[in-house]
Structure formats: structure tokens, C-alpha cells
Amino acid sequence: MFGIIAHGMRVEYREEPCRSALNRVHGMPFAWSLNPYMGCAHRCTFCYVRAFEARADRPWDDRYGASIRVKTNVAEVLRRELARRGWERAEVAIGAATDPYQPAEGRYRLTRACIEALGEAANPFSIVTRGPLIVRDLDVLAAAARRARVSVAFSVPTLDTEIWRRTEPGTAPPHQRLRALAALVEAGIDACVAMAPILPGLSDRPELLAEVVRAARAAGATRVWTNLLHLKPGTREHFLDALARDYPELAPEYERLYAGRAYLPVSETRPVRERVAALARAYGVRDRRRIRLEPAPEPRQLELAM
């Protein structure tokens, strides 16, 4: 166990082996998930994982992200699970409960090792991340993509600097994520932009939505999709406290919108989804998931200047 200071906060890393790598998932678009770490140093104010932590009686408030569990043997366990006789090569979602390319990955390389295992097994997988560090793994991603379906979603809710700094305090700047996306697309990897979560009254402004879609098109994103903010207990309390601190003028509207519910009604979400879809059509962002991947060129190192 050791600790470092990141973004003004001490983060403790606990090296602990795991008994299982793959997690059965219900009620999601995917059936299996994989998280090389537990806890996330990105500390996004809106993170839905806070709700799971609250339900499990673990820190979900300002303490969330201060302690990261490092599953030191996760790749070895994953290889055993993928080799089981009954395993049917179902798609695995990497990063459903923690960012697989948060700062810890620079030291431990567990996500990279898991990608290698999935590629060797020709097992399809998807990744969602805010971490430009993923470009380090272009070689293993491209190798895996030649054997199975691989997709990467970069979470870019907004390019607005103020909103990003206040709501995603531990993450890399959005433009760095887009440069990483461009590098993956150049290597022949299906990489898209996830505009999620969109925050009512903040990142749902038409000009900000258009800015992200234009940038996604310029980076070569294979598609753009969006989702609006969910506020389950745990996430709700932390986010509303942060909102009252940073955007107090919006607090009454959020209390109205989310009164007695965690999910916004279709009447609130549909206009945003339709606007993003219209912008994608206008800027020529077309769904290119069916493109056949050819062997990737030699990967190039992407410079990630702050």
C-alpha cells in the first residue's frame, strides 16, 4: 500500500488480489464487465458509481476516489475464466465501475494485461474511458481488433473548460481525449464519443452540444451517442452539494427536475437526444461500426501535452 498526492488530494493505493475478474451484469446493454481497479481517482461529481458505493456502505462522498483497490492478479484470473469450457466469448465491458485508464494504470498496467488476455482468446470487448493513456496500448488494441470485435468510447460530455474543471476534477482535458480517439481511429480501431452525462442547464446548451459533435467529427469518431444525468442516492447528494457550491443558481431547477426520481422523463431527455442526432447528421458523423478492420499500421506515440 502506498499513497500519492493527486489534484490536491491524497490517494491511497491498496494492492489486493481478486478471486474473480469477470462480473455478471443485469439490466445493462452488456452481460459481463471487467474492472481492473475499484475506486476512481477521477472523482467526477456526477459519477453513478457513487450510488453503488453508498448502497454497499462504502465512502461515496468527498472521500470517494481517495482509496483505490488494485487487483494485482486480475489478468491471470481473467485468463483462467476465459479458458473455461462453458465460456461462450460474450462481450466484456471494461470500465463499467471505474476508469480503466485512471492514473494507477500508468504504474500497474493491469488494463493492458487484460486486453492482451482478451485478444489472445479472440474475445470481443468494449472500453469506456476518460483517460488518454489508452494510446500507450495501441499495439495490443490493434492486435485484439484483428481477432475480435473491439470498441472504445471516450466520455466527452462537454468541451467547456469551466464545466469540465468543476465536474470532472481528476480527469485529463477533453481535447486530450479527442486526440487519443483520433490516434485509435488512425490505427483502425472503432472509437466513438459518449456525450455522457449531459447536465441539464449546463452542458445541454445547443452551442456546447454542437461544439462536441464538431470536434468528434474532426477526430474521426465512428459515432456519437448521449445520455443525460442520473441521480440515484449517493450520487444525488454529492452532485447536488457540488452544484449548490459551483452553480447555486441551478440548484432549484435540479430539485424540481429530479424531485422524487433518479431518471429524467422522456419529455426532458428526448429533445437533447434528438438535437445530438440532428447535429451528428449535419456534421456527417455516421455510424461506421460495420467497417471491416484491416491490419493496423505501426502505432505512433501520441504526445499528450497538458
The 10s digit of each residue's pLDDT in 6-34 is: 445 578 899 999 999 999 988 777 899 99
Query: By the 8 A CB rule, do 143 and 118 touch?
Result: no
User: pLDDT category, 67, cuts 50, 70, 90?
Assistant: confident
- The answer to whether residue 294 is domain-embedded is no
Give the per-residue pLDDT at 299. 35
- The answer to whether residue 304 is domain-embedded is no
Helical (H) or strand (E) element with 94: strand 92-94
Q: How many domains does the chain have?
A: 1
**Which residues in 264-294 are b (16+ Cβ under 10 Å) and which e?**
beeeebeebbebbeebbeebebeeeeeeeee
Query: By the 8 A CB rule, do 239 and 208 touch?
Result: no
- The answer to whether residue 299 is domain-embedded is no
What percent of the chain has pLDDT above 90?
Answer: 77
Whole-number Å distance between alpha carbons of 102 and 247: 27
Query: By the 8 A CB rule, do 233 and 302 touch?
Result: no
| Helix, coil or strand: residue 150 | strand
| Helix, coil or strand: residue 195 | strand
What mean pLDDT is predicted for residues 286-291? Answer: 57
Nearest to 131 by CA among 94, 89, 77, 81: 94
What mean pLDDT is predicted for residues 255-280? Answer: 96
Nearest to 114 by CA among 165, 62, 73: 73
Give the per-residue pLDDT at 190. 97
- Lookup result for grid cell 471494461: 94
- The answer to whether residue 55 is domain-embedded is yes
Whether pLDDT at 134 is above 50:
yes
CATH number for the domain spanning 166: value is 3.80.30.30
- The answer to whether residue 290 is domain-embedded is no
- Partnered with residue 138 across adjacent β-strands are none
Nearest to 167 by CA among 8, 45, 303, 300: 45
> How confident is the prediction for the chain on average, in pLDDT?
89
Give the per-residue pLDDT at 26. 83
Query: By the 8 A CB rule, do 31 and 92 touch?
Result: no
Give the per-residue pLDDT at 48. 84
Whole-number Å distance between alpha carbons of 46 and 124: 29
- The answer to whether residue 90 is domain-embedded is yes
Residue-number span of the structural domain to which 224 is assigned: 2-283
Global pTM value: 0.88
- The answer to whether residue 305 is domain-embedded is no
Whether pLDDT at 60 is above 80:
no
- The answer to whether residue 183 is domain-embedded is yes
